[in-house]
Structure 1
Amino acid sequence: MSIPDGPDGPPVPVPAGATNTGDGVVHGIGPVTVDAYIDFQCPFCKQFALTSGPTLDKLVESRAITLVYHPMAFLDAASTNRYSSRAASASGCAADHGGFVPYHYALFVEQPPEGGPGLTDDELIALGPAAGVEDPSFAVCVRAHRYVDWAAAVTAAAARRGVNATPTVFVQGVPVPANPQMIASAVAAVTA
């Protein structure tokens, strides 16, 4: 699958598990859609992942929600080596092996300081086994930056939706504060 119009025109490859529009990675099969726009270099996204993640995981496990993660390259300028794009690309490589969610947690746990170089490709690869991703093709994908253009396309799609900060959360298309109680309440309100 690919996004028909990438940032420079040609089709952009998307990772396994991508949405029909290619702008996110789907987790779960519940009736309520929760969209989470994140940047792996964003400190507030780390806080969101570590505080809201368990609630979101429970909602996915109970089949209450379909969770769509949109890894953006919003903060590329805040690193010296386009870390947001490279981390988002690596998360796409993990998605190809069914490891997006655990890998996304690993990226936030090991998040480098904003304004620095970010993790190297070798360090991104080293996080794979903790997420259950050990296939050698994962390392090849990360080093090739296979999904860097996808990260740019996700970021452009988010901007078209009006997303101008991370984390940003929508429950069934309605903006909701990025905290577990508000998300759970919004989900409950939709299903009531």
Structure 2
Amino acid sequence: MSEKNSAGKRSARTRLQEERERQKARDKRRRTLIVSAAVVGVLGLAAVVGLIAANTGDKGDGSGSGPVAAPTGATGKDRLAIPVGATDAPSTLTIWEDFRCPACAQFENAARATIHQLTDSGQIKVEYHLATIIDGNMGGSGSLNAANAAACAQDSGKFVAYHDVLYQNQPPEPDDAFARDAKLFELAAKVPGLDTPAFRSCVSGGTHDGWVNKSNEAFRSGDFRGTPTVLLNGESIFPSKGDEQISIENLKKWVAEANKGKKAGTAFPSPAPASPGTPASPTSG
């Protein structure tokens, strides 16, 4: 083989290798764009579905009477909020949601890691409010039953873990699987230490049903657009904040802007489980 031909083949191999590297870089950029667009798309889709859910529900549903037994540690007006995070965090993220609502699951599953990071680092505290609008739309009682079970998990100091498991295992919207206690017990088994006789009694007895119904009434009278409703320090950020659409990066940015010059919270409460439905004096926050 002549020296000229050998050099030519080496040059061809070099060009081929360079082209492969360029293609890999293009593929990586494309995957990054697809993932980013998917996150934004998921949150945007959630907004649309949430609006439909709220606007078609029967406003008379979920207003049943019964004793109102707030879960342990509930705060706010009428003790309707389940708080998560440092009590002295500089910003508050308020979330209204329904465990049967597909839009809520899309939001939670997309934003979960970010919300946990912001909460665990003391940047925000989260106040969860539960609604039952899908029961009104689709029939059934899964929204109510799951919300009661989540409140029972709060009694055991395990609300966050069970809340996440419910959304990670949400059935299709027409399937009222959460109406079955057995399904809620099955999912509770995924949370270490939750599936106890006290939890099962709380779920089967509907200990917090009256509280859930009162929370749903507050949602109905709150003039919210749909679920999920997400507020940062009282300002709506879902599906957008001003001219900016919600995304993971924008959520981080909005929290950073709200917290500028403020110290992160450090007062993380220690869970103190009580008997389900143990009455406590009303508080506001």
- Does the TM-score normalized on the shorter chain lie above 0.5? yes
Matches within 5 A, 1:83-162: 83-119=142-178, 120-132=180-192, 133-162=194-223
Amino acid at match of 1:25: I
**What TM-score, normalized to structure 2?**
0.61
> What CA distance in whole angstroms lies between the structure 2 residues aligned with 1:24 and 1:57?
18
Amino acid at match of 1:64: Q
Task: State the SS of the aligned residue for 1:15.
Answer: coil
Quote how far apart the aligned CAs of 1:148 are.
Answer: 1.5
Cα gap change, 1:32 to 1:123, in 2 (>3 Å):
same
- Which one has the bigger strand percentage? 1
Quote how far apart the aligned CAs of 1:59 are.
Answer: 0.5
Report what 1:168 is aligned to: 229
Deviates more, 1:148-157 or 1:35-44: 148-157
Amino acid at match of 1:185: K
Quote how far apart the aligned CAs of 1:74 are.
Answer: 1.5
Report what 1:59 is aligned to: 118
Report what 2:80 is aligned to: 23
Please give the per-residue CA displacement for 1:5-37, whole angstroms capped at 9, x wherever unaligned. Answer: xx5677511111211321121000122110011
Amino acid at match of 1:141: C
Consecutive unaligned residues in structure 1, runs of 5 or more: 1-6
Query: Given that residues 171 and 183 in structure 1 are in contact (C-alpha distance below 8 angstroms), is that contact kept between their aligned partners in structure 2?
Result: no
- Which one has the bigger helix percentage? 2
> What CA distance in whole angstroms lies between the structure 2 residues aligned with 1:139 and 1:42?
24
Provide the aligned length of Structure 1 versus Structure 2: 187
> What CA distance in whole angstroms lies between the structure 2 residues aligned with 1:131 and 1:28?
19
Amino acid at match of 2:110: T
Consecutive unaligned residues in structure 2, runs of 5 or more: 1-62, 240-246, 261-285
Query: Given that residues 13 and 150 in structure 1 are in contact (C-alpha distance below 8 angstroms), is that contact kept between their aligned partners in structure 2?
Result: yes
Quote how far apart the aligned CAs of 1:138 are.
Answer: 0.2
Amino acid at match of 2:130: P
Deviates more, 1:107-116 or 1:156-165: 156-165
**What TM-score, normalized to structure 1?**
0.89
Query: Given that residues 39 and 72 in structure 1 are in contact (C-alpha distance below 8 angstroms), is that contact kept between their aligned partners in structure 2?
Result: yes
Quote how far apart the aligned CAs of 1:156 are.
Answer: 1.6
Runs of 4+ in 1 over 6 A off after TM superposition: none
Deviates more, 1:7-16 or 1:32-41: 7-16
Please give the per-residue CA displacement for 1:37-92, whole angstroms capped at 9, x wherever unaligned. Answer: 11100111111111111101001110011111112111112444311111101100
Q: What's the Cα RMSD here? A: 1.9
Aligned counterpart in structure 2 of residue 41 of structure 1, from 81, 100, 106: 100
Task: State the SS of the aligned residue for 1:112.
Answer: coil
Cα gap change, 1:14 to 1:127, in 2 (>3 Å):
same
Task: State the SS of the aligned residue for 1:169.
Answer: strand
The higher radius of gyration belongs to 2
Cα gap change, 1:126 to 1:142, in 2 (>3 Å):
same
